[in-house]
Chains A and B, each alone.
Chain A
Amino acid sequence: MTDHLALGKALNLGLRHALEQDDKVVLMGEDIGRLGGVFRVTDGLQKDFGPDRVRDTPLAESAIVGTAVGLAMRGYRPVIEIQFDGFVFVAFDQIVNHVARLHFRSRGSVRMPIVIRIPYGGGIGAVEHHSESPETFFAHVPGLRVVTCGTSQDAYSLIRHAIASDDPVVFLEPKRRYWLNGQVDTSRTDDSWSSSVLRSSPESTATLVTYGPLVPTAIETAEVLAAGGVEIDVIDLRTLSPLDLEPVFESVRTTGRLVVAHEAPGNLGLGAEVAARVAEECFYSLESPILRVTGYDIPYPPSRIEHDYLPDVDRIIDAIERAEAF
């Protein structure tokens, strides 16, 4: 079935289909039941699947993750919601020391099919601790898959794929894009953990790599440049750990230039890892230094000025032009 859905609605549909398909799937989180979640991503699910499978929990993020570990050991597939990105740090021990390691610690005899959904990133005018981009913390941890989505189709396909996976997945939802509309083909549930080439041309003179909330920004950037006669390749990483960089290497070998954009601070961000690996693999193809367009290395700012902090079309075009001019 193909439909036009907002990204948040696509996630809701993906969760609904997963609940329908596998009775071991259970949802837990703060306010996800009667309220339907503060962003309504779980809207209507408790009504249809009951309070045991869509559980409003006490207000304790560490316990939400910690009890998911026990449920997973009992054979369940918990899909848990951390209400906002900044709240996940309360649960850091359970994610890093337990969720990520139990498969390793047990030589594979214990599996942790847990999905940790986190609305993340800025751009909604929120107060502190509601606009964080924590992906690097989790991408650094062996044993976790870190996934994000930038389109309605990926929201649907990747949440289904994450729930079906026997590995733990930190699933980052770009909260300012929950209302972004897009096509959703619900037959597409079996995506691999691959990055996605959104735009590619033999004429391209630069590769723009991004993920999550900047995917629409990257597409817009490419359209603006194309209107001026400049073609670029655009790649959405989708899976932030382990990375799938083959399509990036392939693109850079053609374009010779790479710009990586993300909302998170640049220092030791995903862009650094992408840049290092591209330098290792594509050194002789590079025509210019690899450039990053990121959040600044300051704590997330007050919301009245967050749009000066967040990478936008102008800053990305500036970086591409600097790469071209090198």
Chain B
Amino acid sequence: MGIEPAHEQAEPLCMLTPAGERTGPPAVHIGDETQSLRDFYRDMTLIRRIDTEAFALQRHGELGLWAPLRGQEAAQIGAGCALASQDWVFPSYREHGIAWTRGIGPELLLGMFRGTEMSGWDPNEFRYAYGQIIIGAQTLHAVGYALGLQLDGLVGNDDPQRDTAVLTTFGDGATSQGAVAEAMMWAASYQAPVVFFCQNNHYAISVPVERQSRSPLAHRARGFGFEGIRIDGNDVLACYEAVASALAKARAGGGPTLIEAVTYRRGPHTTSDDPSRYRESAEEEYWESRDPIERVRLRLVELGVPGEFFTEIDAEANDLGARVREACLALPEPDLGALFDQVFTEQDPHLAAQQAEYRSWHGVSGGAA
């Protein structure tokens, strides 16, 4: 797909306007566009429901914290669905939508936020690393993984079933971190198969993106020697096409790409945040009018998709909501005694003694103690 580089773009790439009108270039990577839009609509509706339920669970005291994704559904579903099954993701902590596309459901997702798990899943099973909390650190892990793919001969074989790329996702705030600059420099230097997917949601907690950068974030790529593009991050078609295109280039040995998906964090940074202290309601209303799900609904209606389709998805979302609540309450309580076994791969005698002391203090037996 001929997406213009960021420095030549007048506007971010848009393929589906907020009014649901199809615009921009033809889709290259999407097969049946109507079917894909139906699938995107379903995924976006479902993850919005997971998000809404998780937020409510925090307010009920069942989660310690939640980092809501509301407003970023298109960016996450578009990017996640563009992955080939062999690709890897090194995400930040808000990417519940990408996790969903990799098969990570609420049963695994909520553990970290309920405080029962440090993470909750085996990255190798889903080819999805952990929701990184240290801002930007995961981009370096992504580049290292990509170097490993190169060493394994899994890049540039003209074999789309086998060639592999890495997607790393982060926010506008992360672009100010040294780790992200180092990761981009490193990926460029070794032409590593990495796609840097930046969701510019306009705020790093309370600090607006203007404080992080005087020029569009996508322009940074040019300085590192690779292509950067800006896309409408609330347009799932643009997100899918741009990420699919960049991943294909990376798998083929074409090196890294930076994609800046311009979106908006409609909710607070986390459930502990209060956006009314730092932004105006007019701005929030503007972004509400650019909702990522509504524009797909309008387009599907125009394409003649019947009303039952939407009713069925609403019903599915209701079932999923119940599943989120049940999954949260069913998470097993963690066992501090067992954690002593996870520090090293071979147990250390001093730690084993502490473990035994802990178990004896709490009157528990069992485990490795």
Q: Does A42 contact B (CB under 8 A)?
A: no
A26–B151 CB distance below 8 A: yes
Instruction: Check if B315 is an interface residue, CB within 8 A of chain A.
Output: no
A52, B143: Cβ atoms closer than 8 Å = no
Which parts of B326-359 form the interface with A (CB within 8 Å)?
339, 341-346, 348-351
Q: Bound state CA distance, A242 and B340, in angstroms?
A: 13
> Is B178 in contact with chain A by the CB < 8 A criterion?
yes
The reply to whether B186 and A58 contact each other, CB–CB distance below 8 Å, is yes
> A93-B134, A93-B137, A107-B342 are known contacts. Are A70 and B123 too (CB-CB below 8 A)?
no
**Is B345 touching A167 in the complex (CB atoms < 8 A)?**
yes
CA A220 – CA B331 in complex, angstroms? 60
A76 CA to B179 CA in the complex, in Å?
21
Name the interface residues of B132-149: CB closer than 8 Å to any CB of A. 134, 137, 139-149
User: Once the chains bind, are A73 and B145 in contact (CB under 8 Å)?
Assistant: yes
A-side interface residues, number (CB < 8 Å): 44
B contact residues around A73 at 8 Å (CB):
123, 129, 141, 144-145, 148
Residue pair B148, A70 in contact (C-beta under 8 Å): yes
A-side contacts of B119, CB under 8 Å: 105-106
- Interface members, chain B 141-165 (any A CB < 8 Å): 141-152
Interface size class of B (residues with CB under 8 A): 35 or more
CB-CB nearest in chain B for A67: B144
Docked complex Cα distance between A73 and B152 (Å): 13
A-side contacts of B123, CB under 8 Å: 73, 106, 109-110
Q: Which residues of B contact A167 (CB under 8 A)?
A: 344-346
Query: Does A66 count as interface, using CB distance less than 8 angstroms?
Result: yes
Q: Say whether, besides A66-B179, A67-B186, A74 and B152 are in contact (CB < 8 Å).
A: yes
Which B residue sits closest to A239, measured CB to CB?
A: B348
List, in ascending order, chain B residues with CB within 8 A of A71's CB.
Answer: 144-145, 147-148
Verify B151–A52 contact, CB threshold 8 A: yes
**Interface residues as binary, A91-109 with B (CB distance below 8 Å gives 1, 0 otherwise):** 0011001100101111111
A306 at the interface (CB under 8 A from B): no
Closest to A52 in B: B151
Shortest distance from the beta carbon of A91 to any chain B beta carbon, whole Å? 10
Question: Closest approach, in angstroms, between the C-beta of A273 and any C-beta of chain B?
Answer: 11
Which of A58, A101, A104, A111 is in CB contact (< 8 Å) with B189? A58
Q: B123, B152, B182 — which one has the most chain A CB atoms within 10 A of its CB?
A: B182
Mark each residue of chain A from 57 to 90: 1 if its CB lies under 8 Å from any CB of chain B, else 0.
Answer: 1101011011111111111101000000000000
Interface contact A109-B151, CB-CB below 8 Å: no
For residue A28, give the distance in angstroms from its CB to the closest CB of chain B: 9
| B185 interface residue per 8 A CB criterion | yes
Partner of A62, one of B140, B145, B344: B140
Q: How far is the CA of A78 from the CA of B144 in the complex (A)?
A: 10
* Cβ B339 vs Cβ A74 within 8 A: no
Contact of A66 among B118, B144, B343, B346 (CB under 8 A): B144
B74 at the interface (CB under 8 A from A): no
B215 at interface by CB-CB < 8 Å: no
Decide: B148 and A62 in contact? CB cutoff 8 A: no
Q: Does B311 lie at the interface of the complex (its beta carbon under 8 Å from any beta carbon of A)?
A: no
What 1/0 flags go to A222-258 for Cβ under 8 Å of B?
A: 0000000000000000000011100000000000000
Across the two chains, which residue of chain A brings its CB closest to B341? Answer: A108
Q: For the complex, is B130 an interface residue (Cβ under 8 Å from A)?
A: yes
Q: Pick the residue among A74, A94, A109 that contacts B145 (CB under 8 A).
A: A74
Which residue from A75, A98, A165, A243 sits with its C-beta under 8 Å from B137? A98
Across-interface contacts of B345 in A (CB, < 8 A): 103, 108, 111, 165-167
Q: Is the CB of A62 within 8 A of B182?
A: yes
Within the complex, the shortest CB–CB distance from B345 to chain A, in Å, comes to 4
Task: Check A66/B342 contact, CB under 8 A, given A60-B185, A73-B144, A74-B144.
Answer: no
**Listed A/B pairs (10) with beta-carbon separation below 8 Å:** A66-B144, A66-B179, A69-B144, A70-B146, A71-B145, A73-B123, A73-B144, A103-B343, A107-B342, A110-B124
B interface with A by C-beta (< 8 Å): 90, 118-119, 122-124, 129-130, 134, 137, 139-152, 178-179, 182-183, 185-186, 189, 339, 341-346, 348-351
Shortest beta-carbon contacts, A-B, top 6: A70-B144, A66-B140, A74-B148, A67-B144, A70-B145, A63-B182
Known pairs A71-B148, A244-B349 / 8 extra A-B pairs, C-beta < 8 Å: A60-B186, A62-B179, A76-B148, A107-B118, A111-B345, A143-B344, A165-B345, A167-B346
